[in-house]
Protein backbone atom coordinates (compact mmCIF):
# COMPACT_ATOMS: atom_id res chain seq x y z
CA UNK A 1 0.00 0.00 0.00
CA UNK A 2 2.84 2.38 0.84
CA UNK A 3 4.47 1.66 -2.53
CA UNK A 4 1.20 2.25 -4.40
CA UNK A 5 0.71 5.57 -2.61
CA UNK A 6 4.26 6.57 -3.54
CA UNK A 7 3.61 5.69 -7.20
CA UNK A 8 0.32 7.62 -7.18
CA UNK A 9 2.00 10.67 -5.64
CA UNK A 10 4.73 10.46 -8.31
CA UNK A 11 2.16 10.48 -11.09
CA UNK A 12 0.25 13.27 -9.35
CA UNK A 13 3.33 15.45 -9.75
CA UNK A 14 3.30 14.94 -13.52
CA UNK A 15 -0.49 15.36 -13.63
CA UNK A 16 -0.68 18.61 -11.66
CA UNK A 17 1.87 20.46 -13.75
CA UNK A 18 0.61 19.04 -17.05
CA UNK A 19 -2.85 20.37 -16.25
CA UNK A 20 -1.36 23.57 -14.89
CA UNK A 21 0.29 24.24 -18.27
CA UNK A 22 -2.87 23.37 -20.18
CA UNK A 23 -1.92 19.92 -21.49
CA UNK A 24 -4.69 17.38 -21.99
CA UNK A 25 -4.31 14.25 -19.83
CA UNK A 26 -6.81 11.54 -20.80
CA UNK A 27 -5.51 8.88 -18.34
CA UNK A 28 -4.09 8.69 -14.80
CA UNK A 29 -3.29 5.07 -13.94
CA UNK A 30 -1.57 3.36 -11.02
CA UNK A 31 -0.16 -0.02 -12.05
CA UNK A 32 0.06 -1.83 -15.38
CA UNK A 33 -1.91 -4.54 -17.14
CA UNK A 34 -5.67 -5.15 -16.91
CA UNK A 35 -7.75 -2.37 -15.34
CA UNK A 36 -9.29 -3.34 -11.99
CA UNK A 37 -11.17 -0.10 -11.42
CA UNK A 38 -11.55 3.21 -13.21
CA UNK A 39 -13.70 6.31 -13.13
CA UNK A 40 -13.85 9.26 -15.51
CA UNK A 41 -13.95 12.78 -14.17
CA UNK A 42 -13.92 15.55 -16.70
CA UNK A 43 -11.55 14.65 -19.52
CA UNK A 44 -9.41 12.26 -17.42
CA UNK A 45 -9.92 8.58 -16.61
CA UNK A 46 -8.51 7.63 -13.20
CA UNK A 47 -7.85 3.94 -12.53
CA UNK A 48 -6.08 1.13 -10.76
CA UNK A 49 -4.46 -1.71 -12.71
CA UNK A 50 -3.60 -5.28 -11.74
CA UNK A 51 0.22 -5.17 -11.66
CA UNK A 52 1.46 -2.70 -8.99
CA UNK A 53 4.92 -2.21 -10.52
CA UNK A 54 4.56 1.40 -11.57
CA UNK A 55 2.08 3.80 -13.07
CA UNK A 56 1.62 6.40 -15.77
CA UNK A 57 -0.32 9.40 -16.97
CA UNK A 58 -1.03 9.71 -20.69
CA UNK A 59 -0.39 13.23 -21.97
CA UNK A 60 -1.60 13.95 -25.48
CA UNK A 61 1.15 14.68 -28.02
CA UNK A 62 4.18 13.20 -26.27
CA UNK A 63 5.59 12.42 -29.74
CA UNK A 64 5.66 15.24 -32.34
CA UNK A 65 4.75 14.92 -36.03
CA UNK A 66 7.49 13.95 -38.46
CA UNK A 67 9.95 16.72 -39.29
CA UNK A 68 9.86 18.30 -42.72
CA UNK A 69 12.34 16.73 -45.07
CA UNK A 70 12.40 13.45 -43.17
CA UNK A 71 13.40 10.59 -45.43
CA UNK A 72 10.49 8.58 -46.81
CA UNK A 73 12.64 5.64 -47.79
CA UNK A 74 11.05 2.51 -46.36
CA UNK A 75 13.13 0.60 -43.84
CA UNK A 76 12.07 -1.62 -40.99
CA UNK A 77 13.21 0.96 -38.41
CA UNK A 78 11.47 3.88 -40.14
CA UNK A 79 8.29 1.84 -40.45
CA UNK A 80 8.43 1.06 -36.75
CA UNK A 81 8.96 4.72 -35.83
CA UNK A 82 6.15 5.80 -38.16
CA UNK A 83 3.79 3.30 -36.53
CA UNK A 84 4.61 4.52 -33.04
CA UNK A 85 4.23 8.14 -34.15
CA UNK A 86 0.88 7.38 -35.76
CA UNK A 87 -0.47 5.72 -32.63
CA UNK A 88 0.56 8.71 -30.52
CA UNK A 89 -0.90 11.28 -32.92
CA UNK A 90 -4.22 9.37 -33.10
CA UNK A 91 -4.89 10.69 -29.57
CA UNK A 92 -4.67 14.29 -30.77
CA UNK A 93 -8.09 15.83 -31.39
CA UNK A 94 -8.85 18.93 -33.47
CA UNK A 95 -9.67 20.69 -30.20
CA UNK A 96 -6.19 19.95 -28.80
CA UNK A 97 -4.47 22.80 -30.64
CA UNK A 98 -1.89 24.21 -28.24
CA UNK A 99 -2.59 21.53 -25.62
CA UNK A 100 -0.22 18.86 -26.91
CA UNK A 101 2.99 18.09 -25.01
CA UNK A 102 5.40 18.68 -27.88
CA UNK A 103 4.00 22.18 -28.60
CA UNK A 104 4.71 23.46 -25.08
CA UNK A 105 7.89 25.42 -24.25
CA UNK A 106 10.86 23.26 -23.33
CA UNK A 107 10.93 24.52 -19.73
CA UNK A 108 7.31 23.52 -19.16
CA UNK A 109 8.07 20.01 -20.40
CA UNK A 110 11.08 19.80 -18.08
CA UNK A 111 8.94 20.85 -15.11
CA UNK A 112 6.21 18.33 -15.97
CA UNK A 113 8.69 15.43 -16.26
CA UNK A 114 10.77 16.46 -13.22
CA UNK A 115 7.71 16.90 -11.00
CA UNK A 116 7.11 13.14 -10.68
CA UNK A 117 10.56 12.23 -9.33
CA UNK A 118 10.54 15.41 -7.26
CA UNK A 119 7.40 14.22 -5.49
CA UNK A 120 9.27 11.02 -4.56
CA UNK A 121 12.09 13.16 -3.18
CA UNK A 122 9.57 15.14 -1.12
CA UNK A 123 8.15 11.92 0.30
CA UNK A 124 11.65 10.63 1.08
CA UNK A 125 12.51 13.84 2.96
CA UNK A 126 9.21 13.74 4.88
CA UNK A 127 9.61 10.06 5.83
CA UNK A 128 13.26 10.48 6.84
CA UNK A 129 12.32 13.51 8.95
CA UNK A 130 9.54 11.59 10.70
CA UNK A 131 11.92 8.67 11.22
CA UNK A 132 14.77 10.71 12.69
CA UNK A 133 12.76 13.16 14.80
CA UNK A 134 9.80 10.97 15.74
CA UNK A 135 11.47 7.60 16.31
CA UNK A 136 15.21 8.19 16.11
CA UNK A 137 17.95 6.04 14.64
CA UNK A 138 19.59 3.01 16.16
CA UNK A 139 22.61 4.24 18.11
CA UNK A 140 25.17 2.02 19.85
CA UNK A 141 25.64 2.68 23.55
CA UNK A 142 28.47 1.89 25.94
CA UNK A 143 26.40 -0.83 27.61
CA UNK A 144 27.51 -4.39 26.83
CA UNK A 145 24.70 -6.33 25.16
CA UNK A 146 26.38 -9.57 24.07
CA UNK A 147 29.58 -11.19 25.20
CA UNK A 148 30.79 -14.17 23.15
CA UNK A 149 32.43 -16.74 25.40
CA UNK A 150 35.19 -17.64 22.93
CA UNK A 151 36.97 -16.58 19.76
CA UNK A 152 36.06 -18.62 16.68
CA UNK A 153 37.77 -18.29 13.29
CA UNK A 154 35.47 -17.52 10.36
CA UNK A 155 36.31 -20.98 8.98
CA UNK A 156 35.17 -22.85 12.10
CA UNK A 157 32.86 -25.76 11.37
CA UNK A 158 31.07 -25.09 14.66
CA UNK A 159 30.12 -21.44 14.05
CA UNK A 160 26.36 -22.13 14.14
CA UNK A 161 26.40 -24.38 17.19
CA UNK A 162 25.39 -23.14 20.62
CA UNK A 163 28.08 -25.29 22.28
CA UNK A 164 30.82 -24.15 19.87
CA UNK A 165 33.07 -23.01 22.73
CA UNK A 166 33.07 -26.54 24.16
CA UNK A 167 34.15 -28.29 20.94
CA UNK A 168 37.90 -28.53 20.18
CA UNK A 169 39.05 -27.32 16.76
CA UNK A 170 42.35 -27.06 14.90
CA UNK A 171 43.81 -23.67 15.86
CA UNK A 172 45.98 -22.83 12.85
CA UNK A 173 47.19 -23.98 9.43
CA UNK A 174 45.23 -25.10 6.38
CA UNK A 175 42.83 -27.14 8.54
CA UNK A 176 42.09 -24.28 10.97
CA UNK A 177 38.52 -24.44 12.24
CA UNK A 178 37.93 -28.15 11.65
CA UNK A 179 36.70 -30.30 14.54
CA UNK A 180 39.40 -32.44 16.15
CA UNK A 181 40.15 -34.51 19.27
CA UNK A 182 41.98 -33.03 22.23
CA UNK A 183 45.50 -34.32 22.43
CA UNK A 184 46.17 -34.27 18.70
CA UNK A 185 48.66 -31.74 17.33
CA UNK A 186 47.27 -28.19 17.06
CA UNK A 187 43.91 -29.15 18.59
CA UNK A 188 42.46 -27.13 21.48
CA UNK A 189 39.27 -25.58 22.78
CA UNK A 190 38.56 -22.14 21.30
CA UNK A 191 40.22 -19.46 23.46
CA UNK A 192 38.11 -17.12 25.56
CA UNK A 193 37.47 -13.67 24.17
CA UNK A 194 39.64 -10.97 25.80
CA UNK A 195 36.52 -9.38 27.27
CA UNK A 196 35.33 -12.66 28.83
CA UNK A 197 38.80 -13.36 30.19
CA UNK A 198 38.95 -9.84 31.68
CA UNK A 199 35.66 -10.30 33.54
CA UNK A 200 33.19 -8.31 31.43
CA UNK A 201 29.54 -9.24 31.82
CA UNK A 202 26.41 -8.46 29.75
CA UNK A 203 24.80 -5.34 31.21
CA UNK A 204 28.09 -3.68 32.15
CA UNK A 205 28.27 -0.03 31.11
CA UNK A 206 31.70 1.27 30.13
CA UNK A 207 32.20 4.70 31.72
CA UNK A 208 35.94 5.20 31.20
CA UNK A 209 38.70 3.70 29.07
CA UNK A 210 42.43 4.28 29.16
CA UNK A 211 41.96 6.62 32.13
CA UNK A 212 39.59 8.93 30.21
CA UNK A 213 35.91 9.37 31.06
CA UNK A 214 33.65 8.74 28.08
CA UNK A 215 31.35 11.36 26.51
CA UNK A 216 27.79 11.27 27.84
CA UNK A 217 26.30 10.97 24.33
CA UNK A 218 25.78 7.22 23.68
CA UNK A 219 27.04 7.24 20.10
CA UNK A 220 30.10 9.37 20.86
CA UNK A 221 30.90 7.18 23.86
CA UNK A 222 30.91 3.97 21.83
CA UNK A 223 32.98 5.61 19.09
CA UNK A 224 35.59 6.53 21.72
CA UNK A 225 35.64 2.92 22.97
CA UNK A 226 36.11 1.60 19.43
CA UNK A 227 38.98 3.98 18.71
CA UNK A 228 40.93 2.92 21.81
CA UNK A 229 40.30 -0.82 21.38
CA UNK A 230 41.09 -0.88 17.67
CA UNK A 231 44.35 0.95 18.22
CA UNK A 232 45.53 -1.22 21.12
CA UNK A 233 46.05 -4.74 19.71
CA UNK A 234 48.37 -6.60 22.09
CA UNK A 235 48.44 -3.74 24.61
CA UNK A 236 46.63 -3.93 27.99
CA UNK A 237 43.87 -1.33 28.36
CA UNK A 238 42.35 -0.18 31.66
CA UNK A 239 38.53 -0.05 31.50
CA UNK A 240 36.09 1.20 34.12
CA UNK A 241 32.59 -0.31 34.02
CA UNK A 242 29.46 0.38 36.01
CA UNK A 243 27.84 -2.79 37.34
CA UNK A 244 24.82 -2.82 39.65
CA UNK A 245 25.39 0.82 40.56
CA UNK A 246 29.09 0.41 41.39
CA UNK A 247 32.18 1.21 39.33
CA UNK A 248 34.64 -1.61 38.73
CA UNK A 249 38.10 -1.52 37.14
CA UNK A 250 39.02 -4.17 34.56
CA UNK A 251 42.08 -4.71 32.39
CA UNK A 252 41.68 -6.18 28.92
CA UNK A 253 44.26 -6.96 26.23
CA UNK A 254 42.78 -6.73 22.71
CA UNK A 255 43.83 -9.35 20.19
CA UNK A 256 44.46 -8.62 16.52
CA UNK A 257 41.54 -9.03 14.13
CA UNK A 258 41.12 -8.29 10.41
CA UNK A 259 38.10 -6.13 9.54
CA UNK A 260 37.02 -3.76 6.79
CA UNK A 261 37.03 -0.36 8.45
CA UNK A 262 34.85 1.22 5.73
CA UNK A 263 32.52 0.21 2.91
CA UNK A 264 35.06 1.38 0.33
CA UNK A 265 38.04 -0.38 1.92
CA UNK A 266 39.87 -2.53 -0.64
CA UNK A 267 41.40 -4.87 1.96
CA UNK A 268 40.86 -5.74 5.64
CA UNK A 269 42.80 -3.82 8.27
CA UNK A 270 44.37 -5.28 11.42
CA UNK A 271 42.67 -3.78 14.49
CA UNK A 272 42.23 -4.65 18.13
CA UNK A 273 39.32 -6.87 19.23
CA UNK A 274 37.97 -7.76 22.67
CA UNK A 275 34.60 -9.39 21.86
CA UNK A 276 31.80 -7.16 23.12
CA UNK A 277 28.68 -6.02 21.28
CA UNK A 278 26.99 -2.76 22.33
CA UNK A 279 23.34 -2.45 23.23
CA UNK A 280 21.50 -0.15 20.82
CA UNK A 281 18.79 2.38 21.45
CA UNK A 282 16.63 4.59 19.26
CA UNK A 283 17.92 8.12 19.73
CA UNK A 284 15.81 10.97 18.38
CA UNK A 285 17.68 13.45 16.23
CA UNK A 286 17.32 17.24 15.96
CA UNK A 287 16.06 18.81 12.74
CA UNK A 288 19.60 19.94 11.96
CA UNK A 289 20.74 16.30 11.66
CA UNK A 290 18.22 15.48 8.92
CA UNK A 291 20.05 17.04 5.89
CA UNK A 292 23.35 15.29 6.69
CA UNK A 293 21.60 11.96 7.20
CA UNK A 294 19.67 12.26 3.93
CA UNK A 295 22.85 13.31 2.14
CA UNK A 296 24.65 10.21 3.39
CA UNK A 297 21.77 7.94 2.32
CA UNK A 298 21.65 9.76 -1.04
CA UNK A 299 25.33 9.03 -1.75
CA UNK A 300 24.95 5.37 -0.75
CA UNK A 301 21.82 5.01 -2.90
CA UNK A 302 23.67 6.40 -5.94
CA UNK A 303 26.46 3.90 -5.31
CA UNK A 304 23.95 1.05 -5.10
CA UNK A 305 22.31 2.05 -8.38
CA UNK A 306 25.68 2.19 -10.12
CA UNK A 307 26.54 -1.25 -8.73
CA UNK A 308 23.42 -2.97 -10.12
CA UNK A 309 25.01 -4.09 -13.43
CA UNK A 310 27.94 -5.77 -11.69
CA UNK A 311 25.63 -7.46 -9.17
CA UNK A 312 23.40 -9.08 -11.80
CA UNK A 313 25.62 -12.18 -12.31
CA UNK A 314 25.53 -12.91 -8.56
CA UNK A 315 21.76 -12.34 -8.56
CA UNK A 316 21.39 -14.81 -11.45
CA UNK A 317 23.45 -17.43 -9.61
CA UNK A 318 21.38 -16.92 -6.46
CA UNK A 319 18.13 -17.30 -8.43
CA UNK A 320 19.04 -20.33 -10.55
CA UNK A 321 22.18 -21.97 -9.14
CA UNK A 322 21.39 -21.91 -5.44
CA UNK A 323 24.22 -19.59 -4.37
CA UNK A 324 23.79 -17.55 -1.20
CA UNK A 325 21.82 -14.34 -1.78
CA UNK A 326 23.76 -11.13 -1.18
CA UNK A 327 21.85 -9.19 1.53
CA UNK A 328 23.29 -5.95 0.12
CA UNK A 329 22.23 -6.78 -3.46
CA UNK A 330 19.18 -5.50 -5.38
CA UNK A 331 15.72 -6.51 -4.24
CA UNK A 332 12.37 -6.36 -6.06
CA UNK A 333 8.84 -5.42 -5.07
CA UNK A 334 8.05 -8.97 -3.94
CA UNK A 335 11.22 -9.05 -1.86
CA UNK A 336 10.43 -5.73 -0.22
CA UNK A 337 6.89 -6.88 0.59
CA UNK A 338 8.15 -10.19 1.97
CA UNK A 339 10.83 -8.55 4.08
CA UNK A 340 8.30 -6.06 5.44
CA UNK A 341 5.96 -8.90 6.37
CA UNK A 342 8.75 -10.72 8.21
CA UNK A 343 9.66 -7.60 10.16
CA UNK A 344 6.07 -6.92 11.21
CA UNK A 345 5.57 -10.58 12.19
CA UNK A 346 8.83 -10.78 14.15
CA UNK A 347 8.05 -11.00 17.86
CA UNK A 348 11.50 -9.76 18.85
CA UNK A 349 10.75 -6.22 17.71
CA UNK A 350 8.55 -3.71 19.50
CA UNK A 351 5.76 -1.91 17.66
CA UNK A 352 7.73 1.35 17.53
CA UNK A 353 10.68 -0.48 15.93
CA UNK A 354 8.40 -2.00 13.30
CA UNK A 355 6.83 1.36 12.47
CA UNK A 356 10.30 2.94 12.31
CA UNK A 357 11.34 0.21 9.84
CA UNK A 358 8.26 0.97 7.74
CA UNK A 359 9.13 4.67 7.49
CA UNK A 360 12.77 3.85 6.78
CA UNK A 361 11.79 1.43 4.01
CA UNK A 362 9.35 3.86 2.38
CA UNK A 363 11.87 6.68 2.59
CA UNK A 364 14.55 4.56 0.94
CA UNK A 365 12.19 3.33 -1.81
CA UNK A 366 11.13 6.89 -2.66
CA UNK A 367 14.72 8.09 -2.76
CA UNK A 368 15.62 5.27 -5.17
CA UNK A 369 12.56 6.10 -7.31
CA UNK A 370 13.73 9.73 -7.47
CA UNK A 371 17.24 8.76 -8.57
CA UNK A 372 16.19 5.97 -10.93
CA UNK A 373 13.59 8.02 -12.80
CA UNK A 374 16.08 10.83 -13.41
CA UNK A 375 18.45 8.58 -15.34
CA UNK A 376 18.79 10.26 -18.77
CA UNK A 377 17.44 7.21 -20.58
CA UNK A 378 14.25 7.15 -22.61
CA UNK A 379 11.47 6.24 -21.67
CA UNK A 380 12.30 7.29 -18.11
CA UNK A 381 11.44 10.81 -16.97
CA UNK A 382 15.11 11.71 -17.19
CA UNK A 383 15.11 10.75 -20.87
CA UNK A 384 12.28 13.21 -21.60
CA UNK A 385 14.10 15.90 -19.61
CA UNK A 386 17.32 15.25 -21.54
CA UNK A 387 15.37 15.49 -24.82
CA UNK A 388 13.86 18.86 -23.86
CA UNK A 389 17.24 20.22 -22.76
CA UNK A 390 18.82 19.03 -26.01
CA UNK A 391 16.05 20.72 -27.96
CA UNK A 392 16.73 24.01 -26.12
CA UNK A 393 20.48 23.72 -26.71
CA UNK A 394 19.89 22.95 -30.40
CA UNK A 395 17.58 25.96 -30.77
CA UNK A 396 20.09 28.22 -29.02
CA UNK A 397 22.92 27.15 -31.34
CA UNK A 398 20.68 27.66 -34.39
CA UNK A 399 19.75 31.17 -33.20
CA UNK A 400 23.38 32.12 -32.63
CA UNK A 401 24.24 30.88 -36.13
CA UNK A 402 21.33 32.79 -37.66
CA UNK A 403 19.50 29.64 -38.65
CA UNK A 404 15.77 28.88 -38.19
CA UNK A 405 14.60 27.07 -35.08
CA UNK A 406 14.73 23.31 -35.87
CA UNK A 407 11.56 22.79 -33.82
CA UNK A 408 10.66 20.02 -31.34
CA UNK A 409 13.13 17.23 -30.81
CA UNK A 410 11.72 14.09 -32.48
CA UNK A 411 11.72 11.71 -29.55
CA UNK A 412 10.12 9.03 -31.73
CA UNK A 413 13.59 8.30 -33.06
CA UNK A 414 14.50 7.01 -29.62
CA UNK A 415 11.68 4.47 -29.53
CA UNK A 416 13.99 1.55 -30.46
CA UNK A 417 16.17 2.57 -27.52
CA UNK A 418 13.08 2.83 -25.32
CA UNK A 419 11.99 -0.69 -26.23
CA UNK A 420 15.49 -2.03 -25.60
CA UNK A 421 15.65 -0.30 -22.22
CA UNK A 422 12.15 -1.52 -21.35
CA UNK A 423 13.23 -5.05 -22.27
CA UNK A 424 16.22 -4.81 -19.94
CA UNK A 425 14.04 -3.51 -17.11
CA UNK A 426 11.50 -6.27 -17.63
CA UNK A 427 14.29 -8.86 -17.65
CA UNK A 428 15.75 -7.47 -14.42
CA UNK A 429 12.29 -7.37 -12.83
CA UNK A 430 11.67 -11.02 -13.73
CA UNK A 431 15.11 -12.00 -12.40
CA UNK A 432 14.39 -10.18 -9.14
CA UNK A 433 10.96 -11.83 -8.96
CA UNK A 434 12.48 -15.32 -9.27
CA UNK A 435 15.25 -14.54 -6.77
CA UNK A 436 12.78 -13.02 -4.27
CA UNK A 437 10.64 -16.18 -4.47
CA UNK A 438 13.21 -19.00 -4.53
CA UNK A 439 16.06 -17.37 -2.61
CA UNK A 440 14.71 -14.34 -0.73
CA UNK A 441 16.56 -11.90 1.48
CA UNK A 442 15.31 -12.43 5.03
CA UNK A 443 15.78 -10.69 8.36
CA UNK A 444 17.89 -13.67 9.44
CA UNK A 445 20.55 -12.49 7.00
282 and 135 in contact (C-beta within 8 Å)?
yes
CA distances from 248 to 150, 199, 243, 445 (A): 23, 10, 7, 36
The whole-model pTM stands at 0.79
Whether the predicted pLDDT of 15 surpasses 60: yes
Bridge-partner residues for 280, per DSSP? 140
Alpha-carbon gap, residue 188 to 177, rounded angstroms: 10
Q: What's the pLDDT tens digit per position in 186-204? A: 899 888 889 999 999 999 9
**Domain edges within the chain:** 105-136+286-445, 140-152+190-283
Task: Express as a percent the part of the chain with pLDDT over 90.
Answer: 37
Confidence band for 68, pLDDT divided at 50, 70 and 90: low
Residue 369, phi then psi, degrees to nearest 5? -60, -40
Residue 108, phi then psi, degrees to nearest 5? -70, -40
Whether the predicted pLDDT of 261 surpasses 60: no
Q: Roughly how many angstroms between the first and final C-alpha of the chain, as a whole number?
A: 25
Torsion of CA 90, 93, 96, 101, to 10 degrees: -10
Alpha-carbon gap, residue 199 to 49, rounded angstroms: 62
Q: What is the pLDDT of residue 77?
A: 64
Residue 238 neighbours by CB under 8 Å, 6+ apart: 209, 210, 211, 249, 250, 251
CA distances from 72 to 77, 82, 87, 165 (A): 12, 10, 18, 80
Q: What is the pLDDT of residue 397?
A: 93
Which candidate, 270, 240, 238, places its Cα nearest to that of 255?
A: 270
Alpha-carbon gap, residue 170 to 428, rounded angstroms: 44
Please list the active-site residues.
11
Q: From its phi and psi, is residue 345 left (phi > 0), alpha (psi between -120 and 50) or beta?
A: alpha
Whether the predicted pLDDT of 72 surpasses 60: no
Residue 117 neighbours by CB under 8 Å, 6+ apart: 10, 13, 369, 370, 371, 373, 374, 381, 382
For domain 140-152+190-283, the CATH architecture is Roll (2.30)
Amino acid sequence: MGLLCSIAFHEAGHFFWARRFGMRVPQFMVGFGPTLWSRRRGETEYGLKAVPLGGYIRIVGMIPPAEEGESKRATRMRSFIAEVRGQALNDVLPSDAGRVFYAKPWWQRVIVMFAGPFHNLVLAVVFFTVLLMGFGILTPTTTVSELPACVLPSSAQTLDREDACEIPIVQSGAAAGTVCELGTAGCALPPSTPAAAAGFRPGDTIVAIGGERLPTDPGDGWTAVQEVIRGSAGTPVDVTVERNGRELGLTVTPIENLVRTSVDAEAPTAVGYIGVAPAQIYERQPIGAVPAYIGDVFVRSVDRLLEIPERIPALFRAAFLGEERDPEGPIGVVGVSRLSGEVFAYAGLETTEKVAFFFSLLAGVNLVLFLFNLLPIYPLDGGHIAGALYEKARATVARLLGRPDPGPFDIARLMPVAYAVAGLFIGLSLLLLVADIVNPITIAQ
